[in-house]
Amino acid sequence: MPADTISSLRRWSILIIALTATMCANVFIHGAAFLIPTLHATRGLDLADAALLSAMPSFGMVLTLIAWGYVVDRVGERMVLTVGSALTGAAAFAAASVDSLVAIGAFLLLGGMAAASSNSASGRLVVGWFPPQQRGLVMGIRQTAQPLGVALGALVIPWVAQSQGVGPALLFPAVVCALAAVVCAIGVLDPPRQPRAEAPAEHLINPYRGSAMLWRIHAVSVLLVVPQSMIWTFTLVWLMSERGWSAASAGALVTIAQVLGAAGRIAAGRWSDRVGSRLRPIRMIAVAATLAMLALALTDWLGSPVSVAAMVAASVIVVSDNGLAFTAIAEIAGPFWSGRALGTQNTSQILTGGIAAPLFGGLIAAAGYPLAFAACALFPLLALPLVPADTTDTDAPGS
């Protein structure tokens, strides 16, 4: 079925379903971080140990992202989104039903392995159903799944965890992931793709051979994800412990920040469509992220109430590049490699985020939040020279 034979309404409905499924997966993946205050207060875990437990879904994703990408390349997006969402919901239900922290960690790990399915599959739906001149915008919309998932989790999980405990709080991602599986089974339509035997030779060639372009984009994204992971993991507990906010108020602010971050991703995607490049905006976002983290470090060190506004601004800036890198990789890798390339992209980012969270938890415990925020500013600065020079990336094989 050619991409232009379905209606515009049907195409956008597929985007919304892909966005919803990925958002629900992110409620599970990042919602574990909102258990940190409860784990710290009622289970006696220090910040490093609580952050390690909350990172289990991310570690699980690292184990299976490339494998899910391979499955997407072979069997299509609909099957992967449906099965992956169902398995994530099952793992969340299992985690909610046990009391042992070891068992909870194991089920969070398994759930992360299942939740990885949504990343490559939903990204390929966008690239498969939309033309190059719209992909920056629609991938930006799709990438709002991450901050919206964080926002939804922040709105519900801290309040339930504080009032009723860790188990009941985990029922929320369990339910939304189960519902997402049903919606994907009914509403997703796989995009058209030539049979491998009929595809041009350049679409079948490994895009990692003979070019450093994809490797450099992966490296840039790894560096840029460090402040993102830091902010997502510790904003809630920072507001509660350092600024004296209640769980409900802190969760509401995190929700607002994540919604603004979602809008920032859409704006960045539209920006890339207008300038005809995914890479120039990434370079400018890296500069802005460095300045934002330094401003946050300084205002927090001074004890200024402006630090809360600086935190919100940083929350928006540090997530704005994700959709741009994702779109560029899908376009460069082409239709027969994009699943694995997107899996590699997410694997490198999530592994970095999973390692960064407990390390920064230890740094915060030893030296405080201002130094940790300042340390985060180094990573986007290091990313700047690695951003590849502008190319005609919208004319890549995947286009």
85 within a domain of the structure (yes/no): yes
Domain that holds residue 164: 7-189+204-395
What is the reported pTM?
0.72
| Domain contains 25 | yes
Which residues are CB-contacts of 35 (< 8 A; sequence separation ≥ 6)? 50, 53, 54, 157, 161, 166, 169
Instruction: Give me the pLDDT at residue 201, please.
Output: 60
Report the sign of the C-alpha dihedral through residues 143, 145, 146, 147, in that order.
positive
Cα 283 to Cα 381: distance, rounded to the nearest angstrom: 10
Which pLDDT score, from 0 to 100, does residue 211 have? 76
**Tens place of pLDDT per residue across the chain (399 aa):** 455 567 888 889 999 999 999 999 999 998 888 888 888 777 777 777 787 888 899 889 888 888 888 888 778 889 999 999 999 999 999 999 988 888 989 999 999 999 988 877 887 787 778 877 787 788 788 878 877 888 888 888 888 888 888 889 999 999 999 999 999 999 988 887 766 655 566 666 677 776 778 889 999 999 999 998 888 778 888 888 888 888 778 888 888 887 888 888 888 888 888 887 888 899 999 999 999 999 999 999 988 889 899 999 998 998 888 778 878 887 787 767 777 787 788 788 878 877 887 788 888 888 888 999 999 999 999 999 998 876 544 434 343
Within a domain: residue 318? yes
Residue 38 lies in a domain: yes
257 CB contacts (<8 Å, ≥6 apart)? 151, 235, 311, 312, 315, 316
Query: How much is the pLDDT for 343?
Result: 77
Indicate whether 1 belongs to any domain: no
| 199 part of a folded domain | no
Q: Examine residue 183 and state whether it is found in any structural domain, yes or no.
A: yes
- Helix intervals (H) in 97-200: 101-115, 117-129, 132-143, 145-164, 166-187
Number of domains, the chain: 1
The pLDDT of residue 272 is 83
Judge whether 197 lies within some domain.
Answer: no
CATH number of the CATH domain containing 25: 1.20.1250.20
